[in-house]
Amino acid sequence: MISVNISVSNTNCGGGTGLLLYFSNYTTNEPVIANISDVTLQSNINADTKRPFSSSNYPIAINTLASCTTLLFSHGNYQASVFIKRSIWNGCYGSLYNVAIIARDAPIGKTRVAFRNVTFNENHFMNSKVSVIGCSVSSSRHKENESSIKVKEKWNFLSIRNGSFNFADKSIFKMYMYTVSDHFFFQVIVDSNVEAYVAIALLNIYCKRIYLSYRSSIIFAKVTEGGKNEQKNLLLELKSFTVGTYHRIPASKVRVDDIGKMVFVNIGNVTIYGSNIMECISGSVILACNSDIYLYGSILFVGNRAANGGAIRLEQSSHLFLLEPTNAKFIRNTAFFYGGAIYSYADRSLPLLNSLCAIQIVSNKTDVSDINIKLYFINNTAGLAGNSMYVSPLYECHQLKSNFNTSVLYHALSHFVSGNKISNEIASVAVSTQLCSMNEEDKVKTSYQFYPGQTLTIGLKTVDLNNASSYAQVLTTLTTKLTYKVFEYDLDISNQLNPKQRIQVVYSNSCTPLQFQILPLVNKNHSEREILLRFAVFGYFSVAFVKLEQLDCPLGFVHNNRTKSCICSSFLEVLGIAQCKIDDTKVLIPQASWLGLVKAKSQLSLQYSLHCPPGYCRTDTREVNVTHTDDICISNHAGIMCGQCQKGYSKTLFSSDCYDCNNGIKNFSLLAVVVSSVLYVVLLYCFKFTINEGTIGGLILWYDVISLIPSLELLMTHNNIFRYILNGISFTVYQLSTPHCIWDGSSTTDVMFFEYLCSFYLWFLVITIILISRCSTKISNLTVGSSVQVLVTLMFISFSKLLSISLNILTPARIHQLSPDGSTSSRLVWFTDGSVLYGKDPVHIVLMCTSIAVILFFVVPFIFVGLFGVKLFQFRFVAMYLRPFIEALHGPYKDKHRYWFGLMLIIRTLVHIISASLDSNNTTLLLIVFTVIIGLYVLGLSLIKPYKIKVLNGLEILFGIILLANLMVSLSASSLSVVEIVACASISCGGVLCCIILGYHIRIGLNRNRWIRKLLGQKCCTNCKKDEYYESLLPLIEENRHLEY
């Protein structure tokens, strides 16, 4: 026996191997034991990469293989053992390997190598096609023996225990991280002709590097092919592996390696056991090709990323055997395509019956719950199918050592925790297609109607043998049934299908919407036959299908022979509508216009109007479906120009919306209007909230204008505090905006009559009080000097309401109609309710007469009196009967500026006429006109100062400035949020001023009405005398004050 001991060596050389051990029978036939311990090999550079390797220069050429260490066994029937302990390989530059172990024709069973407690640090490679990182083992070979050995012996050739492979040099890592060379920490290649089971054991291995980069592997083990006696004669044992990156650097999301980190090719038995940790790796951790993997013990796969199978990938005829006990956890592993954690695919000819399952459960337990194998899948993801596992064959296959059904085993032993809302954790190869609904609440449609050239969207999913969704490519065909004599057969008319849509992809985990554009059938008789659209997975015959029915182009569309699809008809093009989409049967109409399908006398017609009443039609979109009635209507509206209400809904007072009034409680809201009107008149009397005080003119003008600009509609869509502030202000000026039901089924004409009545009802209350005061001294004393002022105030307040109602009733609209036969016509209808013919409906005629009467006998005279009131005193009738009214109107103004009241009425009239005449979508022009009018009004108010009291001039100017700022910002701002903020500010300022005005009038009411003070049990201003009381009144006309005194 020859014993060689090497210890405490430190090499630092270049151009060759740092340590070369060569064993051959040419030197000796005696057993040789080489003990190498405490050796440090570092900084060896083997740069001779071009020297040829051939038998003529062997073993001299072996010096070029490795930079650090080469072990060579050759030509002999001797026994040689090498034991390497407590050694370090550091910073070696290898041309082919850093450590090479080559057994060429070595005696079987007599040669072995063992590493104990060794470390490989910062070893990297030169530019070579087969360069290796770390420790590598080259091919093991034995001379062929013509007499084959039937019973093989086990050859324990190599073992590495307590090894550490480290690579943390950032600069070198960046230099080589994207090279195309294959880098391995450990490589073993065994000749398949070796007549023994070559056993290699890697125990307690710690392998870390900065980043397991592209084409960088940890282990590459292979049994060669092409020999005389091909056999899987390598036994690989892996125990307690720790593999990953320093500081748990996550695997790259940009570039994913398609090379596994533990690659096993043609190996009969790879046993992985003990406590194993595999984390943050790019590329499948385990890649097996035609190999069998045996797994047991504890193993953890965390944060690995690969194209397929982030943790385990089985190719060709590979199998994964799970032995007891096994506790495997797969956490946050990701696959770009299939199998987030485990992937297996075997390309076998169909059918897959009686094949061996890719994942084998090894257990003799009779109860599945007793099997000590647990698989935990936590938040694994896959791009196409199988978030946890994508395995084929998975079903319809058999287990070698288990009597349980495969599906039962998987679901009993696997535990899933997924962050996905829809997740199919286990999937296999898709074999059939199924129709599905993209909205789970809807029923699955099995038949569709289509227009020529229309794109249909059909929900489809592909499933495996266990009915789990999976990814697949689907072939679509279009067929129709033909009958020849007594025979019936399917005719393929797939040429009428868009060629790009014949093959489409169906994704897993959801119902995939597939789109199909179907051209009109060439033979018109086909439309009378059954048309089928069939879907099948490539290579499989299970087919899902839907029935199709071809329709003629809908109203508004015509068939175009050039495009073979439906396009806009001339009816729409004449009206300026040129964008039509047959896919969803929608057309693009101008904003604030109306287009709808109307059924009259059992015949449908397409009708269009350029204008739609504000609040009736949608403004968020301009696309209208011509096949759906009332598609554009909002707020429960329906019918022509959305002027009616849906069934079960009714029109309401003070609102353009429709509400459900089939409720006894809601019907009492009309009684609330009656009571609130009485209360409002009483408050006017008590607190002197009248026009002659001069405080409400600016408030009413501000409210009239701001209620007509778009920023208010934007603000009122939100249920916030500003909406309630505006409702409070509206009640102060008695412009009610809260909807009130009249009765169930009330129409627009009913509402118009009641809105007229509500305005006149206030007048009626005051006139009734005036008449009663003539008969009752007590009432006369309570209302002395106030009744006429209250009546004039109510006329001033209701002026805008009456004018708005009258203009609304008198506004017409024209509707254009397209009939199914292609004929066109038009008619004039009422703008507010398109079902009412303008000037022909009896009820509408009455409303028109009422409106004309209101304008002629109230609006125009009221403006005229406001402008020329005092000059009319020369007429005896006016001086005798209208003098108190005129004095109340002109009371707060200077004598030479008494026309200002009439000018304010003219501005209010202009504002309402302009708002009613302009298109509701022409907001820019509306804001410009309003800005000009209010700007001139504020300028004139600032220059003239018509009020006797300076504070009133300032108050009205302040209202005008707030309104003008709102208009200017709404006109110039490009952001809706800015417009909304300014509208909020305007309403807030208006609310504050309104509260100040109300506080002022409450103080006046408490000072001037003794019965209120007595009612409240208080004495306000007790030092006020009778003379001071009359002095506190605003001066009207001198003679009137004298008479009252």
Range from 741-755, 766-780, 1014-1028 that averages highest in pLDDT: 741-755
| Helices H / strands E in the chain, number of each | 22, 61
pLDDT score of 49: 45
**Phi, psi of 608, rounded to the nearest 5 degrees:** -140, 140
Return the minimum-mean-pLDDT range out of 37-46, 516-525, 644-653: 516-525
pLDDT per position as a tens digit, 123-157: 654 333 332 333 334 444 433 333 333 446 788 88
pLDDT classification of 160: cutoffs 50, 70, 90: confident
- What's the burial of 489, exposed, middle or buried (CB within 10 Å: 0-12/13-18/19+)? exposed
pLDDT score of 853: 93
Q: Is 810 in a helix, a strand, or coil? A: helix
Residues 6 or more apart whose Cβ sits within 8 Å of residue 366: 403
Q: Which helix (H) or strand (E) holds 934?
A: helix 923-944
Instruction: Tell me if 538 sits within 8 A of 583, measured CB to CB.
Output: no
- The pTM of this model reads 0.61
pLDDT score of 314: 92
- Cis? peptide before 892, omega within 30° of 0: no
What average pLDDT does this structure show over 714-735? 73
User: What DSSP line would sit under 122-191, residue for residue?
Assistant: S-EE-S-TT---SB----EE----SS--SSPEEEEEEEEEEEEEEE--HHHHHHHTT-SS-EEEEEEEE-
pLDDT per position as a tens digit, 458-491: 999 998 888 888 889 999 998 887 776 667 777 8
- CA 717 – CA 139 distance, rounded (Å): 79
CATH of domain 432-550: 2.60.40
pLDDT per position as a tens digit, 250-268: 555 545 666 778 889 888 8
- CA 15 – CA 17 distance, rounded (Å): 7
Neighbours of 848 (CB within 10 A): 17
What average pLDDT does this structure show over 3-12? 61
pLDDT score of 744: 82
Q: Is 651 in a helix, a strand, or coil? A: strand
Please list the residues that pair with 116 across neighbouring strands.
85, 161
DSSP secondary structure letter of residue 811: -
Please list the residues that pair with 41 across neighbouring strands.
11, 89
pLDDT score of 442: 76
- CA 27 – CA 78 distance, rounded (Å): 10
Q: Domain map of the chain by residue range?
A: 2-145+155-249, 432-550, 669-810+869-1031
- The number of C-alpha atoms within 13 Å of 79 and in the hemisphere containing its C-beta is 10
pLDDT score of 59: 46
Range from 66-80, 312-326, 614-628 that averages highest in pLDDT: 312-326
- CA 870 – CA 924 distance, rounded (Å): 40
Q: From the centroid of its chain, how far is CA 807?
A: 45
Distances (CA, A) of 743 to 236, 662, 663, 750: 89, 8, 9, 10
What average pLDDT does this structure show over 978-994? 83
pLDDT score of 712: 65
Q: pLDDT over 90 for what percent of the chain?
A: 10
pLDDT score of 73: 75
Instruction: Tell me if 989 sits within 8 A of 969, measured CB to CB.
Output: no
Distances (CA, A) of 1021 to 658, 999, 1005, 1015, 1029: 51, 16, 12, 15, 10
Q: Which helix (H) or strand (E) holds 714?
A: helix 710-716
DSSP secondary structure letter of residue 249: P
Which of 199, 206, 95, 214 has its CA nearest to residue 155? 199
What average pLDDT does this structure show over 259-283? 85
Task: Give the dihedral sign, CA 1006/1012/1015/1021.
Answer: positive
pLDDT score of 866: 84
Q: Which helix (H) or strand (E) holds 683?
A: helix 669-687
Return the minimum-mean-pLDDT range out of 397-406, 671-680, 1023-1032: 1023-1032
pLDDT tops 60 at residue 27 = no
pLDDT per position as a tens digit, 871-896: 777 777 766 777 778 888 888 888 88
pLDDT tops 60 at residue 169 = no
**Phi, psi of 249, rounded to the nearest 5 degrees:** -65, 125
pLDDT score of 42: 73
- CA 866 – CA 860 distance, rounded (Å): 10
pLDDT score of 1026: 45
Taking all residues of the chain, what is their mean pLDDT, rounded to a whole number? 77
pLDDT score of 109: 72
Distances (CA, A) of 823 to 576, 605, 624, 629, 707: 18, 10, 22, 20, 42
What the block records as the tokens of 607 is 């009708």
What average pLDDT does this structure show over 1010-1027? 50
What the block records as the tokens of 516 is 């199909």
